[in-house]
Amino acid sequence: MKRFGFKAVLGAALLVASLSAPAQAAGEAKHPAAMDWNFNGPFGTYDRNALRRGFQVYAEVCASCHSLNQIAFRNLGQEGGPEFSEAEVKAIARDYIVEDGPDDYGDMFERAALARDKFPSPYPNENAARAANGGAYPPDLSLITKARGGGADYIHALLSGYEDAPEGTELRAGLYYNPYMAGGKIAMPAPLLEELVEYGDGTPATVEQMSMDVTHFLAWAAEPELEQRKRMGFMVLIYLTIFAGLMFFSMRKIWADQH
């Protein structure tokens, strides 16, 4: 698995709560506001800069606790995604350690990841993951925006929505207030802290910005073929429109001859 610094491990540990910790009390969760995502709508596309920044947040904050097991490193270079160069993809992959084998002696061994490999889990098994996170199992993030009601809006709202508990709300030790969780209570503090990462393009790493960027990246991870699908759908609509027009005028000609 990838080696991480203290700051990244701290941020990732905090992120577990926002995506996997159960609500601690009954109650209605605040409905997330609808965001104007670039990828929404029939002609929406992913923002390449947001995808790259979002990947940085995932790699430096999320990856030490959360897997992304449906995505291979080479997907980071594909059209419609972050579109890293081949050299960048290989460099990213080398930062991760994966298990391979068996070798000629029947033993498993570790090696640096290759572009063809998928993002590895940071834990050898589920029990190890739960033991490292106080019993909570950090979910895989590949489809998280599809798996949660509210999709990208919910993930963004949850990551950026921590607040001081309103007057009259009691929180026992170890709980924090987030109105987007049912009951408003969550078992870990806010996962994203100001300037937790340092963006390579100079964008200020505010909590809001990091929440937007990593959500954008996770939306792509859940649907990396979105742009291709929309282009194909558009072409199909053009084809059907032309076909319908030809059929209409053909039928008019046929019936005109009958009369």
Q: For 173-203, how does the pLDDT look when each residue is reduced to its tens digit (9 = 90+)? A: 778 899 998 888 887 678 899 999 999 999 9
Say yes or no to pLDDT of 70 above 80. Answer: yes
Residue 89 amino acid letter: V
| pLDDT 10s digits, 219-229 | 999 999 999 99
Determine phi and psi for 47, rounding to 5 degrees: -85, 115
| pLDDT at residue number 22 | 45
Better-scored residue on pLDDT, 170 or 253: 170
55: pLDDT strictly greater than 70: yes
Q: What is the mean pLDDT of residues 49-74?
A: 94
- Which runs of consecutive H residues, i.e. helices, occur in 37-76? 48-57
pLDDT of res. 188: 63
Q: Is the pTM for the entire model greater than 0.85?
A: no
Tokens of 64: 């030490």
Helix or strand (DSSP H, E) at 111: strand 109-112
* Pick from 218, 236, 185, 258: nearest CA to 17: 185
Q: pLDDT band at 235, cuts 50/70/90?
A: confident
**pLDDT at site 138:** 86
pLDDT at 26: 47
pLDDT number for residue 16: 54
With H, G, I as helix, E, B as strand and everything else as coil, classify residue 186. Answer: strand
pLDDT per position as a tens digit, 74-125: 999 999 999 999 999 999 999 999 999 999 999 999 999 999 999 999 999 9
* Cβ contacts of 244 within 8 Å, gap of 6 or more: none
26 by Cβ neighbours in 10 Å (0-12 / 13-18 / 19+) ranks as exposed
Cα radius of gyration (the chain): 23
Q: Are the beta carbons of 141 and 22 closer than 8 angstroms?
A: no
Say yes or no to pLDDT of 213 above 70.
yes
- pLDDT (0 to 100) of residue 69: 92
Mean pLDDT computed over every residue of the chain: 87
Report helix angle 151-160 to 207-222, nearest 10: 150
pLDDT tens, residue by residue, 121-177 = 999 999 999 888 777 788 899 999 999 889 999 999 999 999 999 888 888 877 889
Amino acid 135: pLDDT:
78
